[in-house]
């Protein structure tokens, strides 16, 4: 009904047709997610900000060439992820880890809260140890929840490549996060301590 309810595709078309504000509205809708992807891909706030800005400027100029065979969000993500990976390739920057924690100030409260935050930091740091392209696939599929097909378009690779990057990345993370032992280490001997009476079959424990 009003201008605010236009779809993403409407906004992009309107932008290409000369609407002065459509692009900014489009960006406003998606920039938080784009930021999250840029930050997690580059692992560096300044790099992420530069990449996002470069990407949005290219998107602004390239809007006329958007053919609509993917969703506008997919197209935007593709441009942003490419800008991030390009920058990282060019600069070969080794990530300084400085992720989230600047969100709303959580009071220094319950132990659970602290533990939860610590766990997140551990996961973020583990993510940072993956190679950039593996990490981008994991961020898009597992963190952001895009489908393999959408991610393949965003990364400009076949779906099979997305799947195997995800497979490699998850395997590595499972070890880094302590779910699995390093496969290069010698086989285990001691089983984990018992999960308590009435829990799963003993075979679970033997498995470790």
Instruction: Kindly list the residues in this chain that would bind other proteins in the complex (CB under 8 A).
Output: 1-4, 14, 17-25, 27-28, 31-33, 35-36, 39-40, 45-46, 48-50, 52-53, 56-57, 60, 99-100, 102-104, 119-120, 123-124, 127, 138, 142-143, 145, 148, 160, 163-164, 166-168, 170-171, 173-175, 177, 179-180, 183, 187, 203-204, 206-208
Burial label for 144, CB within 10 Å (0-12, 13-18, 19+), is: middle
153: closest CA among 88, 80, 90? 80
Calpha distance 88→48 (Å, rounded): 10
Q: Which two three-digit tokens encode residue 96?
A: 């300084």
Cβ closest to other proteins, residue 183 vs residue 198: 183
Q: Shortest approach of other proteins to residue 187 CB, angstroms?
A: 6
Q: Shortest approach of other proteins to residue 190 CB, angstroms?
A: 14
Alpha helices in the chain (DSSP H): 8-16, 22-42, 45-62, 72-91, 111-128, 132-138, 148-155, 159-176, 202-207
Q: Shortest approach of other proteins to residue 175 CB, angstroms?
A: 8
Q: Shortest approach of other proteins to residue 67 CB, angstroms?
A: 21
Cβ closest to other proteins, residue 68 vs residue 207: 207
Cβ closest to other proteins, residue 95 vs residue 99: 99
Do residues 140 and 81 lie in contact, with contact meaning Cβ atoms separated by under 8 Å? yes
Calpha distance 128→163 (Å, rounded): 19
Cβ closest to other proteins, residue 21 vs residue 131: 21
């Amino acid at each position: 009904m009003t201008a605010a309810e236009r779809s993403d595709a409407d906004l992009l078309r309107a932008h290409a047709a000369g609407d002065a504000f459509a692009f900014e509205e489009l960006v406003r809708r998606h920039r938080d997610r784009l930021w999250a992807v840029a930050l997690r891909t580059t692992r560096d706030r300044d790099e992420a900000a530069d990449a996002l800005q470069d990407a949005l400027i290219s998107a602004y100029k390239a809007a006329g060439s958007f053919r609509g065979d993917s969703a506008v969000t997919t197209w935007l993500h593709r441009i942003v992820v490419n800008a991030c990976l390009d920058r990282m390739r060019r600069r070969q920057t080794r990530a300084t880890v400085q992720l989230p924690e600047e969100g709303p100030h959580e009071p220094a409260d319950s132990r659970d809260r602290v533990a939860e935050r610590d766990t997140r930091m551990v996961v973020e740091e583990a993510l940072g140890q993956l190679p950039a392209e593996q990490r981008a696939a994991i961020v898009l599929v597992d963190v952001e929840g895009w489908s393999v097909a959408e991610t393949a378009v965003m990364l400009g690779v076949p779906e099979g490549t997305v799947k195997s990057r995800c497979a490699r990345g998850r395997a590595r993370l499972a070890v880094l996060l302590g779910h699995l032992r390093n496969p290069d280490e010698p086989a285990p001997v001691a089983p984990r301590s018992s999960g308590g009476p009435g829990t799963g079959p003993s075979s679970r424990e033997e498995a470790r």
